[in-house]
Chain A
């Protein structure tokens, strides 16, 4: 038996197929992964993401610490509640993890990091924090539920108290607010509008079932993966890891080079990689034939070299196979993918593939 979230019994009662995910017994789907995917694109779905790691950072030194720890710059966050996506790098410029950090006030930041990297993240953060006046506190007693889809916000408002609902009324995109026992971020991992809600574990089951009663369907990790892939969002461990810099993982936009004097961890190495020009980059692929792109398939760029698919799947929205691939920077608009010995044509596209339920593909792809 693996770790179980406070919602495990709810998953089983709702017919989930349970799989091991980074040591956690998690729902992969509740019947049909594809139907769940469409439910989020067209209406509203809920995800148990309680396995993810919530870390609070408190103290007068927290701003300085965050500016050291993260490749993105929290000084960009001018308004309380604003969130930022960032990589946390090692000294070589490799990615230890990617995360969301919420600036709650000048003494409190909340980070949500991956579950598969929990131990090394906590060890790293704690070690780096020693030189700062800051306290690092993991919050394993909290559950986390993401509600995503075009109707997600309206559904959540139906089931929360009026005082909470009022606070959500004006919550901007990529902002978070404390609302009673809830911590609500207007963030997500699907490319749809919605919330990620951190709440006490003891309240999770009731909130989950209340959402279910107003028509929010449970969504498993399977659809979570196809939704994030369509939305052009990286997955740690697949699309980047400690051997890969953000510049080779499509995450150059998350590195704050200015101000030049901010000496974040990994900066020197990353700067050297940037000056030398990385040999590879992450691109989106759309298969032009039948079949499904899969992780680790070889990408062949005629006359340029080979690459590899880092995340591949079938896109339920586009009804085509799509992927992220790490390829030589000299790639043009076309390539081939080796699928069980056959070379099939694929088009190179900008990500996202889908945003707010609509295809972002150029015509003719």
Chain B
């Protein structure tokens, strides 16, 4: 069973969301997602300033095995991108909830957060997909 931190929210497409006090959220992909993809070799992070919609493909993570889109779990504006991943994509594997974060988004509508799963719902979602 992969790690699913209790303080985060999750999307069906395996992004995690950390809600900050300043009206922004930090987004990455879950431990389960990085495990499915395998060793990362390239991450294309979004451009700061871009507007994104919920479920819009806004970043790409490429492993040895496959390229996979990262979907924004919320609508808003990209305020920060983890440029470090350009040279060290393996951080997505080694620390998916920490240094492997992908982007920071300024929320357009806090109601988007209500559509996300908590850790226990996400654990059920992962278990259901495995079967």
Given contacts A292-B41, A292-B62, contact A340 B86 (CB under 8 A): no
A226–B63 Cα distance when bound, in Å, is: 13
Q: Which residues of A from 100 to 117 have beta carbons under 8 Å from B? A: none
Q: Check if B44 is an interface residue, CB within 8 A of chain A.
A: yes
Determine if A294 is an interface residue (Cβ-Cβ < 8 Å): yes
**Shortest distance from the beta carbon of B81 to any chain A beta carbon, whole Å:** 15
Q: By the criterion of a CB under 8 Å from any partner CB, how many residues of chain A are at the interface? A: 14
Q: Closest B residue to A313 by CB, please name it.
A: B64
| Alpha-carbon separation in the docked complex, A226 to B65 (Å) | 10
Q: Is A291 an interface residue (CB 8 A)?
A: yes
Q: What are the residues of chain B within 8 A of A292 when measuring CB–CB?
A: 41-42, 62, 64, 67
Determine the chain A residues whose CB is within 8 A of the CB of B44 once the complex forms. Answer: 290-291
A32→B66 CA distance, assembly (Å): 15
Most interface-central of B38, B67, B86 (chain A CB within 10 A): B38
With most chain A CB atoms within 10 A of its CB, the pick from B60, B65, B86 is B65
> Are B64 and A34 touching (Cβ within 8 A)?
yes
As a 0/1 sequence over residues 220 to 250 of chain A, the CB contacts with chain B under 8 angstroms (1 = contact) are 0010001000000000000000000000000
Check B39 for interface membership: any CB of A closer than 8 A: yes
Complex Cα distance, B13 from A246, in Å, reads 43
Q: Can you name the residue of chain A whose Cβ is closest to the Cβ of B39?
A: A34
The reply to whether B67 and A294 contact each other, CB–CB distance below 8 Å, is yes
Quick check: B39 and A32 within 8 Å, CB to CB? yes
CB closest chain-B residue, reference A339: B67
Q: In whole Å, how far is B130's beta carbon from the nearest beta carbon of chain A?
A: 13
Residue contact A290 to B42, C-beta cutoff 8 Å: yes
In the complex, A65 has a CB within 8 A of chain B: no
Interface centre among B41, B65, B67 (most CB of A within 10 A): B41
- Cβ of A267 < 8 Å from any Cβ of B? no
Interface flag for A29 (CB, 8 Å): yes
**Complex alpha-carbon distance, A292 and B65, angstroms:** 10
With a cutoff of 8 Å between Cβ atoms, the chain B residues found around residue A313 in the complex are: 64
Name the distance in Å between B126's Cβ and chain A's nearest Cβ: 16
The 8 A CB mask of A7-40 against B (1 = contact, 0 = none) is: 0000000000000000000000100111000000
Tell me the complex Cα distance, A350–B31, Å: 39
- Is there an interface contact between A33 and B42, defined as CB atoms closer than 8 Å? no
> What chain A residues lie within 8 Å of B60 (beta carbons)?
340
On chain A, the residues within 8 Å of B41 by CB distance are 34, 292, 314
Residues of chain A within 8 A of B93, CB atoms compared = 32
Closest residue of chain A to B38 (Cβ to Cβ) is A33
Contact A33 B86 (CB under 8 A): no
Asked if A33 meets B62 with Cβ closer than 8 Å, knowing A290-B86, A292-B41, A292-B42, the reply is: no
Q: Is the CB of B67 within 8 A of A314?
A: no
CB of B1 to closest CB in A, whole Å: 15
Q: In the complex, what residues of B have CB within 8 A of residue A222's CB?
A: 38, 64-65
> Which residues of chain A come closer than 8 Å to B66, judged between CB atoms?
294
Q: Among A33, A290, A291, A340, which residue has its beta carbon within 8 angstroms of that of B64?
A: A33
CB distance from A40 to the nearest CB of B (A): 14
| Bound-state Cα–Cα, A33 to B62, Å | 14
Question: How far apart are the CA atoms of A226 and B41 in the complex, in Å?
Answer: 13
The minimal Cβ–Cβ distance linking A311 to chain B, given in whole angstroms, is: 13
Residues of chain B lying within 8 A (CB to CB) of residue A29: 38
Which residues of B are found within 8 Å of A34, using beta-carbon distances?
A: 39, 41, 64
Assembly CA distance A340 to B42 (angstroms): 15
Q: Is the CB of A291 within 8 A of B42?
A: yes
Q: Digit string of A196-228 for contact with B (CB within 8 Å is 1, else 0)?
A: 000000000000000000000000001000100
How close is A143's CB to chain B, nearest CB, in angstroms? 27
- Given known contacts A290-B44, A291-B42, is B64 in contact with A314 (CB within 8 Å)? yes
Q: How far is the CA of A314 from the CA of B93 in the complex (A)?
A: 16
Q: How far is the CA of A222 from the CA of B37 in the complex (A)?
A: 12
Instruction: List chain B residues, Cβ under 8 A from A32.
Output: 38-39, 93
CA distance A222 to B64 in the complex (A): 8
**Residues of chain B from 42 to 70 with CB closer than 8 A to chain A in the complex:** 42, 44, 60, 62, 64-67
> Could you write out 6 A-B pairs with CB less than 8 Å apart?
A32-B93, A290-B42, A291-B42, A291-B67, A316-B64, A340-B67
Point out residues on A near B: beta carbons under 8 Å. 29, 32-34, 222, 226, 290-292, 294, 313-314, 316, 340
The 3 tightest CB contacts between A and B, nearest first, are A314-B41, A34-B39, A292-B62
